[in-house]
Amino acid sequence: MDPFGRTIDYLRLSVTDRCNERCLYCMPENYRPWTQRGDHLSADEIVRIAATATELGFRKFRLTGGEPLIRPDIVDIARRIWDLAGVQTLGVSTNALMLPRLAEPLKQAGVRSINISLDTLDPMVYQRLTGGRLAAVLAGIDAAVAAGFECIKLNCVLLRGINDEQVLALAEFGAARAMPVRFIELMPLAPDGALDERHFFSVAEAMTRLARHDALDPATTKPVGHGPARYYRLRRSGGLVGFIGAVTCTDFCASCNKLRLTADGKLRPCLGRHGEIDLLDALRCDAMTASVLPAAIHQAIANKPEKHAFADEFEVARPMTAIGG
């Protein structure tokens, strides 16, 4: 339990700050990797932290990044985490580019749910926004379906003037594949000015846009690993859509249940506040690991703020790709 009565049982593990795409909202232009050679946590170190977390009551884990699937040992990491006693759900967040090769091994390793970034169905816009190819992502989505994950969700960051006209098309794309689509407000976590507040498009505006075409009924069921989204069922298409109002929803943090681990070994109590606890020394000194790791996790829980600080002239210290979304 944190100081605000929230049960913290979800750990997001960023396994790299590097990526094979360059999304404008996540990775600064000319991004130089945050982690230096040798700074990335090893698979053993990541699993050791996850194991300690399970002993302290953590039950949900997600592998993220950067792009987690570019790590050659990602399937091994997933399998070892899934094998830990007490793990109830294991998810992966990905841009899907490497799913044609990795979906099946990840499923076999124990991964239950996959979250895939898909901000647009327009190949040109996709290229502009991410530097990547939409066709490759669609192939990755097909591979995830073929592998038979329990739940596949699509994540779309809302961007005025870039993809705000696409919310209906994305919702219908998800509905046709029985995949929940989550619309996420742009958080100020990419510091180089490629996007600014003029691109901000709120979840309320997205709901209004959708409601012009299809009625939204509050959903009675939520998908696996549902997180902070508010879910609605589209009456005509039957699709499930979620809205993550990270910036405008005043009660957004009330149900927060997570800590984050960065790829360079920092425990981060809140995405939208600075203040990290460094685990590297403890991990790299056997004499310290057993006592310091649990204490550090307890400390991170005790340090969780009531709310993020995105509205308080938040200064970006780490871009999203170096935190782990």
Q: What SS3 class is residue 250?
A: coil
Q: How many CB atoms are located within 10 Å of the residue 302 CB?
A: 12
Residues 21-80 that bind ligand SF4 (CB under 6 A): 21-23, 26-27, 65-67
**Cβ closest to ligand SF4, residue 89 vs residue 130:** 130
Instruction: Give the whole-angstrom CA distance, residue 18 versus residue 217.
Output: 39
Closest Cα to residue 55, out of 92, 90, 12, 84?
Answer: 84
Tell me the window of 62-70, 205-213, 230-238, 263-271 that interacts with ligand SAM (CB under 6 A). 62-70
Determine the size of the site formed for ligand SF4 (CB under 6 A). Answer: 13
Q: Closest approach of Cβ 321 to ligand SF4, in Å?
A: 5
Provide the H-helix boundaries in the chain: 43-55, 74-82, 99-109, 123-130, 134-147, 167-176, 203-211, 280-283, 286-302, 320-323
Residue 35 interacts, among ligand SAM, ligand SF4, none and using kind-specific CB cut-offs from 5 to 8 Å, with: none
Determine contact, residues 14/312, Cβ cutoff 8 Å.
no
- Residue 262 near ligand SAM by CB under 6 A: no
- Residue 158 near ligand SF4 by CB under 6 A: no
Of all helices (H) and strands (E), which one includes residue 222?
A: none
Q: Closest approach of Cβ 159 to ligand SAM, in Å?
A: 9
Q: What is the DSSP string of 267-310?
A: EES-TTS---EE-HHHHT-HHHHHHHHHHHHHHHHHT--SS--T
Q: How many CB atoms are located within 10 Å of the residue 288 CB?
A: 15
Among 35, 52, 120, 155, binds ligand SAM (CB under 6 A): 155
Q: Closest approach of Cβ 67 to ligand SF4, in Å?
A: 5
Closest Cα to residue 68, out of 114, 34, 31, 37?
Answer: 114
DSSP 208: H
**Cβ closest to ligand SAM, residue 93 vs residue 303:** 93
Residues 218-277 that bind ligand SF4 (CB under 6 A): none
Tell me the window of 4-12, 72-80, 184-192, 217-225 that interacts with ligand SAM (CB under 6 A). 184-192
Token reading at 62: 């997600």
- Residue 187 near ligand SAM by CB under 6 A: yes
Among 15, 19, 87, 297, binds ligand SF4 (CB under 6 A): 19
Note the residues at the interface with ligand SAM (CB under 6 A).
Answer: 19, 25-26, 64-65, 67, 93-95, 117, 155, 157, 184, 186-187, 189-190, 320-321, 325
Note the residues at the interface with ligand SF4 (CB under 6 A).
Answer: 19, 21-23, 26-27, 65-67, 95, 117, 130, 321
